[in-house]
Structure 1
Amino acid sequence: MKDLTTQKVSDSTITPAERLKMARTHKGYSRKELAAITNIPEKSIEKYEYGSMEPNISRLQTLCEVLEINSESLLGMPESENETTRSESNHTKYFSEALDHIEEINCIRETGFAAEPTKALAHVEALQSALRFLGEDELKKLASAKGISTENMLNLGITELSLRIIDTAIYGVDLYNIEMSALSKLAEHYNLAPSHKIFWIEWENHEEIIHEIRAKFKSEAFYSTNFPNFSDKKLFPRNSEKYTDD
């Protein structure tokens, strides 16, 4: 994807709305043409460019793909380095970046993702990008630092370990630390079922139920005001501790 910093789009005084317009004009599209390509109403694009409305996750991704930019650049966040530079960089840089993005996500989550969904999503995408360049040992170190259970961690692949780090950033807790009975009640409330099974009686393990919870709340985490509060230990007791009222 193109680096819009060469067009001075990274200037901190430029708003995301202005960056979107600059990216569109740089590609030579009119609003009408961009609307036709993306299937996003021209009126909506106009509102995005005036800053009176923000695109949802799906539309943001579509705009970024068509305009050949990424959400970090569009929102004015520091642009990630290219692949060559990344491969030559010390992984400690990405470890620190991952921690910074997790802290930013934590702050936004405390006030509610629905208040700043686009910003929250951008930090999640940036966290995912940073995690891709960490080795297994660094991922385990980061997981332990964020309170993710290290039990049986030797059997975890890098992909699953990264997902658990992202889960913890979004939900405020490692979902594997929540009692199975509590997750089952949540799944029942939302009529969730194993997507890979036609007939089933009960959830087999945490991995199976968490897979469905991730799919259910992938977008709702950022836009729904009724998103479950996984940090509530009374509603979602932990495996290693029991919540009691003092």
Structure 2
Amino acid sequence: MYDFCLPNDNEEELLEEYYRNKIKNIVLCYYINDKKDLDIFKIKNILYYKKLNIFYCALINNDNLDKSLNLASELFYSDKYYNDLIYIIGKDFNYNEKISEKYFYNGINNFIRKSKKYYFYGISYSSMKKIKKNNLSFLIDINTIKKDLELFYNYKKFIEFAEKKYLNILIGSFAEKKEEVPNRYHLYSFYKVLGLYYSLNYLNRIFKEQIIRTRLAKRKDYFTKGFYIISYPYQDCKEY
């Protein structure tokens, strides 16, 4: 089982709580506004916690479309940064439409805006089709939507629609404090209340596939879709 959280200089406290709650795969998320924020993903800042599997996620939050895409491209391809996932935070309808045409990131977060008239105000059906075609995912932030009943209802309707179309969905608590860290039963409850009926194995597969996409893109020996080097000459020979 996995969960997404939003640390604020309290990484160790959150990780200890996840360990106590028996959630093993933890994604540490950080908001990225400009290039100087990328330093957080350099190897000197990466944590190691032997009891858990720790992953790093960039949440790109910039109102300028070109800057957001440049940041996503840098994080997706550069092996200078040790991030596992890149999500772009949704803005208005046109912004979401444009980013859905690209593939060098893992998906979109907070993509629906409140509207009593439209369930999915902020993202079009054509954008959803492009995101699915590019094998991207929709990342849903429980901490945000549980504070607003109207937004919660819109996301619930989106999940109902998304499951029929087999869209890739990931859900995280986005816990910021120790007290907000869920246990596995809390997460099951979130899934049930939102009407998410994908199996846990299926959600884990989506999660792993998105990480693999980023890791392969950072590898210099990955040269085209479906083809990458799995071994090198002489790597098993002791004399080399």
Q: TM-score, normalised by structure 2?
A: 0.29
Q: Larger relative contact order (C-alpha < 8 A, sep ≥ 6)?
A: 2
Q: Larger helix proportion, structure 1 or 2?
A: 1
Q: Which has the larger radius of gyration?
A: 1
